[in-house]
Structure formats: structure tokens, C-alpha cells
Amino acid sequence: MIRVRFVERDGGVREVVAEAGDSLLRVAQLADQPLEGTCEGQMACSTCHVILASADFDAVPPASAVEEDMLDLASGATRTSRLACQIVLTAAMDRITVAIPPESRNMQRG
């Protein structure tokens, strides 16, 4: 089991349990985080933009050039920004901390 910590917009932290091989997008959506994922993981949008804690950034494989291009379209992107659909959880990512950018909007959830 892999623990994923989501930093809530109010500053609180919610920890959920995931399986190795799950995408971070799927885990976030199941945890009721405000990530739309409009393209369903096809890397055709940036609606699953997340910001990884600096300490966890190197535990995740580097972004591809295509992902970097999509992140250029993301509002509020930072040095540790990633697309949640491109992060497949592994045991090395246990206790990864993820924040949803305040600029994000989930139009599917209202």
C-alpha cells in the first residue's frame, strides 16, 4: 500500500491509501480531490495539474517533453508541477505529498 497525502485548499492534509500501479489522477479522483482529468489521461489537457512537494519531486520519474508542453498551458505551474495522469505510483512514492493548485477548477463536479 502507498500513502498519498493531499494538501487541501484550507491547508489541512488528507492521507489516502493507494495501490502500486494506480495513477495519481485516479487516486485523487477517488479521494474527491478537485481534479477534472478531462482527457482521461491521454495528455491532451492540463486539468490534472498537481504540485508535488519539493522533497518528493525526485521520487517521480521525469516528465516527458509532451507533458512539459502541456504543463506550459497549466495555470499556476511551478518547478515541481506534474500532470497527475502521468504519475504511476510505486513503493518509492510512499507518503508522496501533492497539492492541487488554487487556480484549478473542476467543471465536471460543479
pLDDT at 110: 46
pLDDT at 42: 87
Q: Which three cell numbers stand for residue 7?
A: 494538501
Residue 37 grid cell: 482529468
Q: Collapse the DSSP code of 89 into the 3-class scheme (helix H, G, I; strand E, B; otherwise coil) and give the result.
A: coil
CB 67 within 8 A of CB 86: yes
Of the pLDDT bands very low, low, confident and very high (cuts 50, 70, 90), residue 104 is: low
Give the C-alpha distances (Å, rounded to integers) separating 27 from 1, 37, 51, 69, 72: 12, 12, 15, 24, 24
- Identify the CA nearest to 107 among candidates 33, 26, 34, 23: 34
Cell of 88: 504511476
Percent of the chain with pLDDT over 70: 93
Q: Among candidates 59, 52, 7, which has minimal Cα distance to 33?
A: 7
Average pLDDT, the chain: 91
Q: Name the pTM for this structure.
A: 0.89
Gap between the Cα atoms of 25 and 37, Å rounded: 7
Average pLDDT over residues 51-73: 95
CA pseudo-torsion sign 98, 30, 3, 43: negative
pLDDT bucket at 59, cuts 50 / 70 / 90 = very high
* Averaged pLDDT, 81-108: 86
The predicted structure's pLDDT at residue 78: 95
